[in-house]
Amino acid sequence: MQNDKTNILKSYLNYSKSQKIGVIMLFAIIIILQGYYFFYNFDVPKIDVKAKESWLSNQKSIDSLKFLAANSKNKTTIYPFNPNFITDFKGYKLGMKVAEIDRLLAFRKENKYVNSAEEFQIVTKISDSLLNAISPYFKFPEWAKNKKSNYQVYSKKDFYSKEKMVVLDINTATKEDLMKVYGIGDKISDRILNEKEKYGCFVSMEQINNIWGLTPEVIEKLNASFIIKSISNVKKININSASSKDLTKFPFFNYQLAKDIVTYRSMNGDIKIEDLTKIKGFPVDKIKIIALYLEF
């Protein structure tokens, strides 16, 4: 052991001046770090209770500001809506948390409806600030406003029949008529009218299903509020005389199908309604609708 210490000392004495300084600095750093470890207080500082309470009180304001910021950034106009029919996307846009949206959806799966802003908060557990921000846009049926008890169970039939509903012809409906349906705003109403304009008129309410942006709930309400009464303005195309270019203008036909129709026509003569299923690529699942737009 004595020899080992002597050897280490001899080795140190043989170091150059810069090596000796390096060894001394290394020992100095080790001593400093050891001292810091033993004397520094690593305990987690206690949270100031008053500061915590102040932070929690500001959270309500944060919820409201997030809602206002999101809508001002997107420059989205919010139209009155029935909160019973909020979708995941709609809830997200309003500033609701996933858990809050899930509580509402679970409540609705039980075939129940909220009839006031207060009941909406009880079910979803949203903050007061967020409720104050979005509740002015809530639109409940008149009969629901007079209900005294919460969480009553209603069938969908009862929910709509309580209000006097006038069923209109969707082909003569105005933008204002469409926007009276919960869930339909300015953009979606324009989308419906533009779709109708492409065909001159709708021949089946099934065509509503093809309009982008309509949720199943909104489609259900449209079918309850509108029907097809007249198709006098329908734009018909003569399948036996139209060129492939003219056929491609028909919304149901793409370029390839238009070519296949003309090819079939040139090889087999005039097309009859029963021949449509024989044409390659023809959308047979929509044949009943398409046939109403064709002349033979």
CATH of the domain at 269: 1.10.150.280
Q: Is the domain of 111 the same as that of 195?
A: no
Residue 78 gets which letter from DSSP?
A: P
Mean pLDDT, the chain, integer: 80
Domain end: 113, 146, 161, which one? 161
Report the DSSP beta bridge partners of residue 169.
Answer: 227
Identify whether residues 184 and 223 lie together within a single domain: yes
Q: How many CB atoms lie within 10 A of CB 236?
A: 12
pLDDT in tens, 25-57: 887 888 888 777 777 665 655 555 565 566 555
Nearest of 176, 162, 296 to residue 242 by alpha carbon: 296
| Among 227, 250, 265, residue at a domain's last position | 227
Is residue 10 assigned to a domain? Answer: no
Q: Which helix (H) or strand (E) holds 131?
A: helix 128-134
189 found inside a domain: yes
Claim to verify: residue 146 and residue 186 sit in the same structural domain: no
Pairing assessment for the beta strands 168-169 and 237-238 based on DSSP bridges: unpaired
pLDDT at position 36:
72
Domain CATH number, residue 203 = 1.10.150.320
**Residue 108 lies in domain:** 58-161
Question: Which tokens in the block code for residue 195?
Answer: 């779709």
Name, in order, each residue with C-beta under 8 angstroms of 197's C-beta and a sequence gap of 6 or more. none
Instruction: Decide which of 207, 227, 247 is a domain's last residue.
Output: 227
Instruction: Please check whether residues 127 and 112 belong to one and the same domain.
Output: yes
The pLDDT-based confidence of 88 (bands split at 50, 70, 90) is: confident
Looking at residue 145, what is its pLDDT? 58
Give the count of domains, the chain. Answer: 3
In a domain, 283, yes or no: yes
DSSP three-state, residue 237: strand
Tokens of 19: 């090596």
Q: Is residue 82 part of a domain?
A: yes
Asked whether the beta carbons of 228 and 234 are under 8 A apart, the reply is no
Pair 95, 140 in one domain: yes
- Does residue 4 have a pLDDT over 80? no
Asked if the structure places residue 28 within a domain, the reply is no
What digits encode the pLDDT tens for the residues 113-172?
888 889 999 999 999 888 888 888 888 876 555 554 444 444 555 544 444 567 899 999
pLDDT tens digits for range 227-258: 999 888 888 999 999 999 999 988 889 999 99
For residues 117 and 135, give the distance between their C-alpha atoms in angstroms, rounded to a whole number: 6
- Of 183, 182, 251, 179, the C-alpha closest to 193 is 179
Burial grade of 247 (CB within 10 A; 0-12, 13-18, 19 or more): buried
User: How remote is the C-alpha of 153 from its chain's centroid?
Assistant: 27
